[in-house]
Amino acid sequence: MNDALQNQKLKLSCGTASFGNLYREIDPLSVNSVLDGAWNLGYRYFDTAPYYGFGLSERRVGDFLRTKNPDDYILSTKVGRVLHPDSSYHQARESFINALPFRPEYDYSYDGIMKSFEHSLQRLGLEKIDILYMHDIGRVTHGDNHKQQMKIAMSGGYKALDELRSANLVKCIGLGVNEYEVCEEAMEYGNWDCFLLAGRYTLLEQESIKTFIPKCKERGSKIVVGGVFNSGILATGTVKGAKYNYEDAPKEILERVNKIEGICKQYNITLRQAAIQFPMLQKNVSSILVGSAKLKHFESPLEDIKIKIPSEFWETLVKNKLLKEECLTD
């Protein structure tokens, strides 16, 4: 069931939101150059979504992967939004510059999931999608509408995903979200192969180790971890203007990171190395998602995961109450 996520080559995966012109426009030749470079570095798992550039990322990723043997890579995309032809302004255009002329609308229904899957295949121009994630379900995204959206998603939406898996049209199904709580909630409704969880299992955030990660182990669900740097600070350190979850890092986070950096220096490792290796202490974390429009940001993680970090380093973090002790048990 989880064969698509077993390969050791998938420890690092390529996130492609940037190729949907996230925050800045990137030309097609540059996209292809970065994807080609990532491939040559050994990246074999690529993640995209209809939302990224309103179809632009999927088209670009599909154009690149069409030149490769389908057996040589793993591809995931997402459902939960359907794109409608519409070139007019909507708020999401603030994030995706010169995106395609579509308007995304949430649709977690059976028909919405099936339509989104079919549209993704057409945009990608590929014969397969390996992993299909239900995208951005949860209270942070939907607020007071969460209960209603969750009811739709866990009835009709899950039924569609399960049918696609049973028909072998996808190998794995899961959630692609920023909240581990909604993953736990979804576990009560069905059998999920994997979860793409962004920013919620890092050196700064470990609440998910209490119940979510143990439940995944019990059920055999794999975890793909995104946002290991919490949008910046765990890569840059406590520099001026350091970002934490896309905002200026508050004082308590700066102080915490400063303490972690101090312990990193004691063991002659970098904050980046610790941040990217930390989730891998859990065996059911199958991949770390790396996303960027620059090839160098795909190169450095390959070196970071090779560095040997002694167990004493993690134990020192626990001793200084910078890491939950449960994180060291698997």
Residues designated catalytic: 47, 52, 78
Candidates 19, 39, 38; CA nearest to 29 is 19
Contact 291, 49 (CB under 8 A): no
Beta-bridge mates of residue 276? none
**Can you tell me the distance from the alpha carbon of 261 to that of 314, in angstroms, rounded to the nearest whole number?**
13
Nearest C-alpha neighbor of 100 from the set 111, 108, 92, 109: 92
